[in-house]
Each structure stands twice: as structure tokens, then as C-alpha cells.
Structure 1
Amino acid sequence: MQEELEMKSGSAVRSGPADHAQGGGSVAYRQKQQLERYLSFFSSLAFSATLLASWESAGGSIQSGLLNGGPAAIVYGIIISTIGNLTIACSLAELASVHPTAGAQYHWSYFLAPRFRRFISFFQGSLAPPYSYVPANLAGWVTVFSWSALVCISPYFIGAQIQGMIALAHPDYEVVPWRSTLLMWAVALIPIVINIFARRILGPIEVAAGIMHVVFLPVTIAVFVILAPRNPNEFVWNTFVSLGGWSNSGVAYSVGLLGVITPLSGITPSLPLLIHEADECPGVDGVIHMAEEVKNAKTVVPRSMIYGTLINGVLAFSYLVAVLYCMGNYEEALLSPTGFPIITIAYQATGSLPATFVLMAMGMLPGWIALFNGLASVTRLAWAFARDNGLPFSDFFARVDPRFKIPIRALFLVASCIVALSFIQIGSSTAFNAILSLSTLGLYISYLIPLWLLVYKRVTAPSDIPRGTFSLGKWGLPVNLLAILFATYFVIFLPFPPQVPVTGENMQYAGPVLGFVMLFAIGDWIVRGRHRWEGPTVSLRAYGRE
């Protein structure tokens, strides 16, 4: 007999195992809503928009395009990026409108899979954060560690830019790793405090950040246009450059394209270039993981995902076109001693250190506030994962604090991982970047698995696909296929090193590490995963299986 517990707005909260519909003998539970719903549509839209921080991070990631592909890769790449990420956002939004839950992708994969759903959700969990399978094993810790690595990107990125500006003002300044670690701590401290003690003001903060995200852009463009000399149209729209050593122009273009694809994905491209191409936190799915704190989540979350991606695409395109028209000496920018071509480009345009610092601050401030959102999102991911028995000591980390109304133990777990990772980059930037790159690959794979399963369902049993508040209708199959094509293309070229010949410093280790994780996942499934993983603890009502 099925146990009846309160469930609100289709949200999932840990209560018991789900029926995996394949003879497992488990029962489906309805779950009790534990998190307070306080985020409105505008807060959620601002959350989605600022979490990507597209134009702000496009400036930081421009070196990839300048090195491989040049202006042509940048200006056309951002158009491709907008279209591709919109197809992913629309495809995931359709699933989010049916079941908006902090667990997201591995929940959807579990219920869309026609067979072997326990293995598929288990395997996806082992490859991609925030998902794994059983308590008290290594994979659970790797999961939280990986998503915490993504949260590290924003403070690392901002701290590195601060050091770059210091280097611009003081050419004798030495950029050293331990200073980057201290800056990371300083940048992350206030978001952690706000997430604990002032959760209720996250909504207004997100709206304010969204306003800055939109308003600061025309101000920045105006400064460039007024003060900087113009490059000809030919330079912006028809200049191909290959300085990374790739002999094949298609490969060079694709590697350079990553620098403008990722600002709309919320992840990082070729990290062996250190922070030159760093970006923000979780991608187009970031707002999904806050779904259990969003009012009317089944409607608000899908709209926020799509509108946020579209807004960021338009802003990033406008910014990059303005920068390309107004940038000065190409080689001087590319070889900038600050580590960031955009700092040198801003200084070339203004000729003033204070003006350069103001321009950079207008890009860094919304990106810093995005960390407030990213930290909240990843905390909910860790909490949802613990709720599904995916972490060691899951009962401990799944608890929602009755005073602060947040999973505070999960927050401290994520914060602890950030601190731990900050020490890694002191000893080895290569090891630090390999960890971040693995998270990037895992994120896109976490998109691909439910998308493939959704396409299979559309072809074999379209009537079984549940309809939510948002539906692609007859456009579902082509949009899903285009999303798969884009994500696959990105996964293929993401592990490519930015320069050849390949050395220990510029090697992309994400591919080999991912291969090891895949082998580990298969072996662990054979040994014990198949005996202990029962699937996510969610309600089956939305999927028509209750």
C-alpha cells in the first residue's frame, strides 16, 4: 500500500524509493515540500540571466577566439552559441515543466529510459555532477567535489582579473598562486554569508544584478565607441586567424569557438590556458536546481531558462561586436601581461587606468553577484543528491535547517570543497584545471543523456511523453536533435588543447580522466551499484506511473 505524504507543486523531497517499474518491488511515495517557495518570476529570470553572465565572461574568454579563429570565430560563434544553447534550454525546459526538481537530469533520465533505467541513472550520476548513486562510497564525494569545482570558477576568475589589473598598474607585480587563493576566499566569503543569514534578500539581489547585467552593457559599449578608434568591417566579419598551431582551419575554428560557446553555457572552455577562458557556474539548467524554492515552478522555471538564454545571447553578441570594432593592437592584446586581453583592450581604448578599472568592475560586479546564485544552486544540488541517498552520511546532509530554512549542512559541505580546491591550484594549476574541465564535460553529458532518451521516446512512444505547461509540440523532435548535435559537437572539441605542439602545461586532461571515471562507473556498478541503487526518490505522478 502506498504511503501518503504531502506533495506541493510536483516537488520532490526525500521520503522513500521510487518504483523503477522493472520488478524492483519498490513503491512510489508522494513527498513533503521542505523548502520555502519565495522566488518570483522576475527573481528567477534574473537568476537565470545573471548566472550565465554572458557578456561579462565573454570578455574574459575572448583569448580563445583571438588565438584560434580570430574575429570570425568570435562574431559568428556567438550566433551559433545562442542558437545551440537555446535548443538545449528549450528541450530541458519541456522536461522541467513536467517535473521541476532540484535533481533534474538524472531524475528525467530515470523515468524516460525504456530499459536499464537504474543503470542509466547510475552511470549518468557517476559521469556528471551532481549525480551518483549510493551512500558511503567515493563517487558521492566526487559528485559534490565536481560541482564545487564549478562554483570555484567565479571567485578564481574574479581574483585573477583583480591580479591582472594590479599587474597593469604595477608592471613589477608578480602574479603568484597563493595570492589567487586568498582572493578566491575573499570573493566567496560574502556570498556564503548572504546564503546563510540573508536568504530572503537573494530575490532582490538577483533582480538588482539582472538590472546591472543589462544596464552596464550599453555604458561599457558607449565608452568603447566614443573613445576607441574603429576597425574596418573586414576585420570584424571576415578575418580568420590561426595562431594556436592547428594546421586544419576547421579544427582551429572549432577550438576558438569554445570561447564564445561557453559564456552561454555557464561553464569553462580550454582551462589549460589557466583562467583566460574562465566562465561562471552551472549552465542553462542552473535555475532548475532552485525549482523547489520557486513559486509556480512548472511555469516559471521553463520560461526563466529560455528567456535567460535568449537575453544573454543578445547581450553577448552586442558586447563582442563592439569590442572587435574597438580593439587596438591585436598581438598586444593577445600577449597581454595581465593574462586577460580584455584588460589591455580596455586600456588601449581609454588610455586611462581609472577608466579601465571602472569598465572591468562593471563586468566583474554582476559576475560576482552570479556567485550568490551559483552557490545557492549547487547547494540545492548537493542537498537533492543527499536526499536521494547519493552521498555518504546522506541523512546528515539532507537536513533542512528549521531556523534558516535552507540545507545549511549541504552549504557548508560545498563551501568546504571550495576551500579545499583553492589549495590545489597553489600546488598545481594543471591539476586544478583538469578538475574543472572534467566538470565541464560532465555537465554537457548530463544534458545529452536525457535528450537522447527523450528523442527515443518521441520516435517509439510519443503518446507516453507527459505534457507540462511548456511543450515544443511538433517542433519537439527537430529541436531535440539540434540540441543533441550542438552538445555533441561541444563535447568532442572541449578536450582539444588550445595550442600545439601539446605539452604537459597545455594538455587537456579532461578526456583521459573522464575515460577513467567511465571505467570506474561500470566496474562499480558490477560490484555493488546494481545491488544498492534503487533510483531517485521522487513522485511518479507527473510521469503517469503512479
Structure 2
Amino acid sequence: MQEEMEMKSGSAVRSGPVGSQNGGYESVTFRQKQQLERYLNFFSSVAFSACLLATWESAGGSLLSGLYNGGPSAIVYGIILSTVGNLSIACSLAELASLHPTAGAQYHWSYFLAPRGRRFISFFQGWVTVFSWSALVCISPYFIGTQIQGMVVLAHPEYELVRWRGTLLMWAVAIIPIIINIFARRVLGAIEVAAGIMHVVFLPVTIAVFVILAPRNPDSFVWDTFVGGLSGWKDSGVVFSIGLLGVITPLSGVDGVIHMAEEVKNAKVVVPRSMIYGTLINGVLAFSYLVAILYCMGDYTEAVTSATGYPIITIAYQATGSKAATFVLMALGMLPGWIALFNGLASVTRLTWAFARDNGLPFSDFFAFVDPTFKIPLRALVLVASCIFALSFIQIGSTAAFNAILSLSTLGLYISYLIPLWLLFLKRFMAPQDIPKGTFSLGKLGLPMNLVAILFSTYFVIFLPFPATIPVTGENMNYAGPVLGFVMLFAIGDWIFRGRHKWEGPTMRSYNRDD
């Protein structure tokens, strides 16, 4: 029966925990009946991974972070650093994905890799990952909604930016992806391929417009200019590291396609490749875009202090001299970024469903239900959508607080990567013979690649909670650290009062070969 055993892939039915021995990767796991339909092929999976990150589009939206702390040097060298770091993370996680391509991803792997305390570690991991992804899917509607407001300001300078209007625009941006995820699940594959084409084609069009119409900055401005006097931070290393937020966030979420693994054909082969190709494609595209923007941007101060709230809008207007052309350029970035929300919703819904399926959430039986009509975890999708609408209200109270939620998602994701990466690193020393070979293996490069991934993740985690400006006030404080700390404390509390009685880690049941 050994050849008929593998990780479960989709039911709320539970029959007992996976064995707890360290080497129990495959010898004690059973395939569970497949409830989700596998409809994503290799090309749609790669497109899903690439479009989910929407890196060059979101890099334009988060340009202010780098311009404010570090300037062009922080942006251009930062995107190289971010690409190398995230590619090392993607390669390391791809090894695990080739062994266990499951919607639960990180918390599954942490359970199998942990030498002791595996129940608590995987439970804690699950909470951090689910919350981080729930915050991450807010980025697209927030950027697009507030960029629409920014373009209204450009067209009508007398227009006053009001936060509650931005919240309503966020809702409007989010509603169609939610409807598509419910009623048109089958077209998601085609949407991802079309979005992947737009993601790649719209970039050279955008760059060409800037290059043709805008005056050129000298090489020294792009590669040698370091801006360190705007935020109050004095140390150049700290300034550079804080400015990385604008190029780290667009490449975070390399695990997104893993959470769709139970709807991917030949997932053990396709998912690892999709992670790596998606990260590499996005890194190259983002680097090309940011270098072009820096060469073609006009007045620096005007961009940083833009009344629109987004330097990229002002930079586009400086380059074209036309409001209509600026709107078209912004639309070329916003459309693929909007379609990324289709992917994000699908991915975090499957993650939430998988965690509920294993009794990780309160009312798990309710949220682990797969709707027989729509063939999706509808209740989990509604829960995720509710989180988007709830988090959007934070913007009304404080823009700084909402921006902290955005950086919180990135901080939480890198912590969610660090846990299995550290456990895998330790396993290579303590019991390397217990690590089975999957369809993707780094071979002798595994250990150094894991170490590089850990170093990058740790570096990012250290500086992501730093405030962008000092002295720190209640308005400009980065609330990412305190909010994530609260989530972690809540997870610990849930473990004490409920989780330790309910959570047994990833659970399995027997299957038929035809399932």
C-alpha cells in the first residue's frame, strides 16, 4: 500500500492525526478524497503565480517608500536584493511543495519538520499565515481605490481626498473578483492566462511611453543617488533597509500558488516550477519597470509631495504632460493589479478552508464546508471577503494605521516562511535521512540555499516593523509589529482554550485510487 499513500487533498472528514515520529513524512499519511476539482494546468499556474504578485504594478504604487527613504539607489539595488532573496525563499519552499503540494502549505510542513512541539508550532504557524494572507488581499483594492482618488485629484485639483470615499472605492474594486470566485470559478484559469499576457505585454508599452516622452535623467541619478535626509533617520543602513518596504512587498507572497495546489493538475511538478518561474519573471519585470521610471522621472520633490498621494501619478503626468495619457498609463498598471485580486482571493480562501478543515479555526466544521453547487469553499470565501471589508474601515480612522496593515501582511508572510525554513535547516543537520526526495530537489545546494533564504527572511522581518519617519507619533507609527503581536497572542490564547483540545495537526483518511 506504500505507493498509494500521500498527503490528503480535500475533505472536512477527519479520522485521526498523522503519526508524530520525525521521519513520518509519507509512511503514515493517507490520501483523502479529492473535493476540489483540478482544473489549473502548467501555463495557468505560472500565470497565476506571476499575476498574483503583480510586482511591477504594485512597485509603482509603493514607490513613495523608496523615494522617501534611500532614494533611487535604495529602489534599484533594493529590487535586486529583494528578487534574489525571494527567489531563494521560493526555491527552498518549492522543495517542500514538491513533497506535499497542499492548500495548508506552511503549517503542514512545519508539522512534519518539527522535532518536538509540532502540534503547537503548526497551529501557531497556521494562524500567522491565514491572517497575513487575509491582510495581503487588501493591498490590491486599497492601491486601486486610492489611486482612482489620486487621478480624480489630478483631474480636479479642488477635489478633497476623503478617507471614507476611498473605503467605498475599495469595496467597489473587490466586489467583482468576489463574484467571479463564486459564480465563475471555471473561468479563473483562462483569466489568469489573459492576465499573464497583460502583465507581460503592458510593461513594455508603459516603458516605451516613458522613454519616448520623458526627458532622461543621468546615470548617476539612477545608480548613485542616495536620499537620506527626508525621514529623520540618520544611519544610512537603516534608511536603506526601511526604504526596502516598497520593493519587498511587491515580491512577497511567493507561496500563493501553493494554496491552490489541490486544484492544480500534476501539482507535485507544476506548483514548484510555478513558484520559481513566477518569482523570477516578476523580479525581472519589476527591475525593468523601476529602472525606466527612475530614468524618466521629473522633479523629485514634486513626486514625493504629490497631492495625489502617489508619486507614480505625478511622474506619469510629468512625462506625458497629458492627463488623459496619465490615466491610460495608470490603467495599464491597475488592470493586472486588479486581476491579481482574483488570484489572491482564491488562494487565501483555500488556505483558510484548509486550516478550518484541520480544526484550526473556531467553528471549523462550518468554514471547512465545500459547497456542492459551486464546488468551492464558499463559507471560507465569505469569511475572507468579510475581512477585506472590515479592514477597509481602518483607513477611515487613520491612513498610517492602514498602511501598517499592509506592511503587516508582508511581515507576517516572512515569519510564516521562516518557521518551516528553520525547521528544514535543522532537519538537514539532525536527521537528513528523514527528508524524502520530491519531484524538485536542490541537491547539494539545498543547505546553502536554505541558509540564504533564512538570512534574507530574517533581515526583512527585522526592518519591516520600523516606522518610516522619526520622531514617532501616534499618526506616523508603524503598527505592524503591535498588530502582529496581538494576532500571535490571540493564537496562543486560542491554543490554550480551544486549540490544544481540537488541533491534532494535518489529519488523513484512506482513499480509493480513483479519487
1:108/1:295 Cα in 2 relative to 1: closer, same or farther (>3 Å)? Answer: same
1:517/1:148 Cα in 2 relative to 1: closer, same or farther (>3 Å)? Answer: closer
Deviation by residue 1:125-153 (Cα, 9 ceiling, x = unmatched): 34x121xxxxxxxxxxxx4xx53332122
Q: Which residue in the other structure is 2:17 paired with? A: 18
1:95 Cα offset (Å): 0.3
1:84/1:147 Cα in 2 relative to 1: closer, same or farther (>3 Å)? Answer: closer
1:420/1:201 Cα in 2 relative to 1: closer, same or farther (>3 Å)? Answer: same
1:262 Cα offset (Å): 1.9
Q: Which amino acid aligns with 1:254?
A: S
Q: Which moved more, 1:524-533 or 1:190-199?
A: 524-533
Alpha carbon RMSD of aligned pairs, Å? 2.2
1:420 Cα offset (Å): 2.1
Alpha-carbon distance in 1 for matches of 2:490, 2:262: 32
1:476 Cα offset (Å): 0.2
Secondary structure, in 3 states, of the residue corresponding to 1:488?
A: helix
Q: Which residue in the other structure is 2:353 paired with? A: 383
Q: Which amino acid aligns with 2:91?
A: C
1:393 Cα offset (Å): 2.1
**1:162-173 aligned within 5 A:** 162-173=148-159
Residue 247 (structure 2) aligned to one of 256, 260, 274: 260
Deviation by residue 1:63-95 (Cα, 9 ceiling, x = unmatched): 111111111111111111110000000000110
Q: Is the 8 A contact 1:93 1:306 kept in 2?
A: yes
Q: Is the 8 A contact 1:65 1:257 kept in 2?
A: yes
Q: Which moved more, 1:299-308 or 1:179-188?
A: 179-188
Q: Which residue in the other structure is 2:72 paired with? A: 71
2:175 corresponds to 1:189: yes
Give TM-score scaled by structure 1 length.
0.88
Alpha-carbon distance in 1 for matches of 2:154, 2:492: 49
1:295/1:537 Cα in 2 relative to 1: closer, same or farther (>3 Å)? Answer: same
Q: Which moved more, 1:387-396 or 1:299-308?
A: 387-396
Residue 205 (structure 1) aligned to one of 191, 202, 205: 191
Deviation by residue 1:239-294 (Cα, 9 ceiling, x = unmatched): 111121111011001111221122111xxxxxxxxxxxxxxxxx000000000000
Q: Which amino acid aligns with 1:467?
A: K
Residue 137 (structure 2) aligned to one of 121, 132, 151: 151
2:328 corresponds to 1:358: yes
Q: Which consecutive residues of structure 1, in runs of 5 or more, have no partner in the other structure?
A: 131-142, 266-282, 542-546
Q: In the comparison of the two structures, how many residue pairs are matched?
A: 503
Q: Is the 8 A contact 1:9 1:298 kept in 2?
A: no
1:129/1:93 Cα in 2 relative to 1: closer, same or farther (>3 Å)? Answer: same
Secondary structure, in 3 states, of the residue corresponding to 2:137?
A: helix
Q: Which residue in the other structure is 2:41 paired with? A: 40
2:221 corresponds to 1:235: yes
2:413 corresponds to 1:443: yes
Alpha-carbon distance in 1 for matches of 2:424, 2:433: 12
Q: Is the 8 A contact 1:396 1:409 kept in 2?
A: yes
Q: Which amino acid aligns with 1:300?
A: V
Q: Which moved more, 1:84-93 or 1:253-262?
A: 253-262
1:104/1:495 Cα in 2 relative to 1: closer, same or farther (>3 Å)? Answer: same
1:528 Cα offset (Å): 5.2
**1:98-497 aligned within 5 A:** 98-126=99-127, 128-130=128-130, 143=131, 147-242=133-228, 243-265=230-252, 283-497=253-467
Alpha-carbon distance in 2 for matches of 1:460, 1:14: 34
Q: Which residue in the other structure is 1:94 paired with? A: 95
1:292/1:46 Cα in 2 relative to 1: closer, same or farther (>3 Å)? Answer: same
Alpha-carbon distance in 1 for matches of 2:371, 2:310: 42
Alpha-carbon distance in 1 for matches of 2:370, 2:495: 30
1:359 Cα offset (Å): 0.4
1:424 Cα offset (Å): 3.1
Q: Which moved more, 1:509-518 or 1:493-502?
A: 509-518
Secondary structure, in 3 states, of the residue corresponding to 1:475?
A: helix
Alpha-carbon distance in 1 for matches of 2:428, 2:347: 30
Q: Which residue in the other structure is 1:533 paired with? A: 503
Secondary structure, in 3 states, of the residue corresponding to 2:362?
A: coil
Secondary structure, in 3 states, of the residue corresponding to 2:374?
A: coil
Q: Is the 8 A contact 1:48 1:304 kept in 2?
A: yes
Deviation by residue 1:310-350 (Cα, 9 ceiling, x = unmatched): 00011001011111111001111111100000000000000
Alpha-carbon distance in 2 for matches of 1:449, 1:79: 24
1:28/1:221 Cα in 2 relative to 1: closer, same or farther (>3 Å)? Answer: closer
Q: Which moved more, 1:9-18 or 1:346-355?
A: 9-18
Q: Which consecutive residues of structure 2, in runs of 5 or more, have no partner in the other structure?
A: 23-27
Give TM-score scaled by structure 2 length.
0.93
1:517 Cα offset (Å): 4.0
Q: Which amino acid aligns with 1:211?
A: I
